[in-house]
Structure 1
Amino acid sequence: MSTVSRDTEASRSRGEQHGIDLMQQPAVGLVYLFFVFLPLIFQPRVSVTTVIASLLACLAFLPLYRGGLGRWQPSAHARWTLTALIALLLLPLNPGANTFMIYAAGLAGHLLAPRRAVIIGLALAALTAAAYLWVFGNEPWAIGFVLITFVIGGMVLGGSIYGRLQSRRMAELQLSQDEVRRLAGQAERERIARDLHDLLGHTLSMVVLKSELAGKLIARDPDAARAQIAEVEQVARQALGEVREAVSGYRRGDFEGELAATRLALLSAGIEVEAASHAPPRRDEVDHLLSMCLREASTNILRHADAGHVSVDLSVKEGTLSLAISDDGRGGIRHEGNGLRGIRERLEAFGGDLDIDSPEGAGTRLRLSLPAGWRAEADAA
């Protein structure tokens, strides 16, 4: 259980986007400002006023897109409203002003509640259609711009809402994981307290009583006092052995617990996990070995693999215990780092072996094998 409380390395979220979320990567979202100037390329004559107005519109939009400028921090409604106003003011000079309407829809989806954002998106679409028809009439190209605004604006609005919901789900998942770790840590502390009470409570009480008795017997019966002191020593040595065994058990990893911790760490990083364990009971030392190797492999995946899916399979075939860990990341491992070298050395100490298959761009597969001596004593008997 203690392995569940380790720190998770979570730095990514990979939810599939059903749309375009311009705010997912703000710097990249600004690339779409190119479409403000795209219609001007196809016009035979473009006035200097139109170019200057378009540049000023972009400059005015930047602080709204980024969330403010200096001490000026506009509200959520002010950001999308002023962005839509920029589009309406620029529209008579530049038909590419519909780009700002699309940005306004994206900001509404990113900043407001989903239902309200959808209503505002529909209102912006209707306003865009009315503005184009009023400024340019029933020109086919104007209707085309309106349709583009409807389609792209809808995709951006949907992507923004979906991205916001995904972020909220990830935050809720993180909170639930923090609570699980807190409860796991609390349960672990309570278990340790019970174990220490069971191990030392009775023993220390006996040591105190026998020490007091020996102190009373020293003057009138030294032999009996020495016998009591010898019993105190024996009880103390027995308690010391029990404490050492308990501490060794705390330090030893449990593979099922480590597998749960690994699943938690990978899922919190947005990595899908498929895990299966079909092996019978194992020796404590072997279980600890597998736990350490799984922890090291999952750490490498989180840090270096850039994977989206991980498979963990513990199985037995022809008496050989095998742990296969596969990912669909970048692959291309040419040299073993400290982590993989440590896994290999641990396995070799138990007579096992590590096989690495890591083609470039096709993920990595680790196969850890222990040919003999891994079964638990009770299972072997």
Structure 2
Amino acid sequence: MAVTDPDAARRRRGIALVAAHTLWFWLLVPPAAAIAGGRVRPAAPAAVGLVAFALLYLALVAVPVASLPVPPTVRRLGLALFALLGAGLAGAYAGGPGGWLILLMYVAAAGAVTVARPARGAAWVGGAVAAVPVIGAARGAPVADTAQTALITMLAGAMTLAFARMAQLVDELRRTQRELARSAVRQERLRFARDLHDLLGHTLSLVVVKAEVARRLARTDPDRAATEAADIERIGRTALAEVREAVTGYRDHSFGRELANARVALADAGIAVTVRRSGDPLGVAADDVFGWVLREAVTNVLRHSRASRCEIALHTGRDGSVLTVRDDGVGGRPGFGNGLRGLAERLGRARGTLDVGPAPGGGLLLTARIDRRPAAAVPA
């Protein structure tokens, strides 16, 4: 499958637009016809100047339209040379046949495309329009022709300014779209990494605990060891299913399910579990978020606390929901690693807060709050 380069595609469109600008050269037919008919003297400088003027116009238009890599200083010098050449040819031949004042229209259009800032572009166009009657009066050009050329120059400059501004806005929109797409990819990567950490961290800790139990019972109680090994197999299959669900972005991660898993994991590790629930049923958002919070909290208790007791308390009322997990282990104030940072981000999206610190009397206390209860609810 071919991959399209946005810059290359834009450059091709720009080249097509530059080619379309050659249609504007029909306005240069009268001066060219006057040179060819021998009505302009001297003819050679006029012909060379007119050809150079047309080529320089195409080059100036091609730089911004086709996104050519030309330094700004070179662009400014080219525009200044183009303006001097156009004003010089108009000033030299405007008194004769051919309508040479029309060259100032090209000067206005080139400046409108080349000058990046809209205010400066408008000033450039205004200067080109003002130069038409000045040069026309100095060279004795007919007033009607001068007025008509000034009007054409103003309209062409204004139209080119509008086109250039629209092109800038389209480019900004495309850049914004690309940045939003990159941001969405980054956010999805962070979500997937956070989900895998929360899923596998708890599951692997539970597997380690059960494997230790099975190893201790292998000689004294083979039947119990076989049961623990079967649980390890079941946990592994569940973890595999959860990883697959996380990949697709759909998973049932209820608080009730995690509470049942927490009871089993803590009991297998020899930690006495106390569960207290009060108040109303959890809302849908709180049910999902508190499921993740409980999973990570129990994982930390299993890994780091060396506790003998763990208390899990949940209260839901009109002001919101509060989940606390307290153990009697080594305590301290843990640093916010990937797990706790991920929980804080989840709670933040649900308009909740997370607090982790030493518990009164020893151990660690984790408190998660969601102040506003969602309207929808699930059974407790």
Normalised to the residue count of structure 1, the TM-score between the two structures is 0.51
Number of paired residues?
231
For 1:126-171, what per-residue CA distance to the aligned partner results, in whole angstroms no more than 9, with x for missing partners? 332232233235xxxx223212221211111112211221122123
Show the counterpart of 2:304.
Answer: none
Equivalent pair of 2:49/2:85 in contact (CA under 8 Å): no
Equivalent pair of 2:90/2:135 in contact (CA under 8 Å): no
List aligned pairs for 1:219-230, cutoff 5 A: 219-230=219-230
Equivalent pair of 1:23/1:29 in contact (CA under 8 Å): no
Show the counterpart of 1:173.
Answer: 173
Equivalent pair of 1:50/1:93 in contact (CA under 8 Å): no
> How many angstroms does 1:229 deviate by?
0.8
Tell me, yes or no, if structure 1 residue 28 matches structure 2 residue 20: yes
- Give the whole-Å Cα distance in 2 for the aligned partners of 1:8 and 1:63: 29
One-letter code aligned to 2:189: R
Equivalent pair of 1:109/1:161 in contact (CA under 8 Å): yes
Q: Secondary structure of the residue that 2:134 maps to in structure 1?
A: helix
List aligned pairs for 1:325-336, cutoff 5 A: none
Structure 1 residues 211, 44: CA separation in 2 closer, same or farther (over 3 Å shift)?
closer
One-letter code aligned to 1:213: V
Equivalent pair of 1:87/1:97 in contact (CA under 8 Å): yes
List aligned pairs for 1:56-205, cutoff 5 A: 56-65=48-57, 66-67=59-60, 74-112=77-115, 113-136=117-140, 142-205=142-205
> How many angstroms does 1:210 deviate by?
1.0
Structure 1 residues 123, 243: CA separation in 2 closer, same or farther (over 3 Å shift)?
closer
One-letter code aligned to 1:32: W
Equivalent pair of 1:203/1:239 in contact (CA under 8 Å): yes
> How many angstroms does 1:8 deviate by?
11
Calculate percent identity across the aligned residue pairs: 28
> How many angstroms does 1:54 deviate by?
4.2
- Give the whole-Å Cα distance in 2 for the aligned partners of 1:159 and 1:99: 16
In structure 2, the gaps of 5 or more residues are 64-69, 251-380
- Give the whole-Å Cα distance in 2 for the aligned partners of 1:216 and 1:104: 91
Structure 1 residues 52, 124: CA separation in 2 closer, same or farther (over 3 Å shift)?
same
One-letter code aligned to 2:145: F
For 1:244-275, what per-residue CA distance to the aligned partner results, in whole angstroms no more than 9, with x for missing partners? 2333347xxxxxxxxxxxxxxxxxxxxxxxxx
Structure 1 residues 28, 227: CA separation in 2 closer, same or farther (over 3 Å shift)?
same
Equivalent pair of 1:33/1:58 in contact (CA under 8 Å): no
- Give the whole-Å Cα distance in 1 for the aligned partners of 2:82 and 2:29: 22
For 1:34-53, what per-residue CA distance to the aligned partner results, in whole angstroms no more than 9, with x for missing partners? 32232676999644746544
Larger radius of gyration: 2
Q: Secondary structure of the residue that 1:95 maps to in structure 2?
A: coil
One-letter code aligned to 1:38: P
In structure 1, the gaps of 5 or more residues are 1-6, 13-21, 251-381
One-letter code aligned to 1:80: A
- Give the whole-Å Cα distance in 1 for the aligned partners of 2:103 and 2:232: 85
> How many angstroms does 1:109 deviate by?
1.4
- Give the whole-Å Cα distance in 2 for the aligned partners of 1:37 and 1:54: 13
Equivalent pair of 1:35/1:96 in contact (CA under 8 Å): no
One-letter code aligned to 1:105: A
Q: CA RMSD in A?
A: 3.7
One-letter code aligned to 1:134: A
Equivalent pair of 1:23/1:160 in contact (CA under 8 Å): no
Q: Secondary structure of the residue that 1:219 maps to in structure 2?
A: helix
- Give the whole-Å Cα distance in 2 for the aligned partners of 1:170 and 1:202: 48
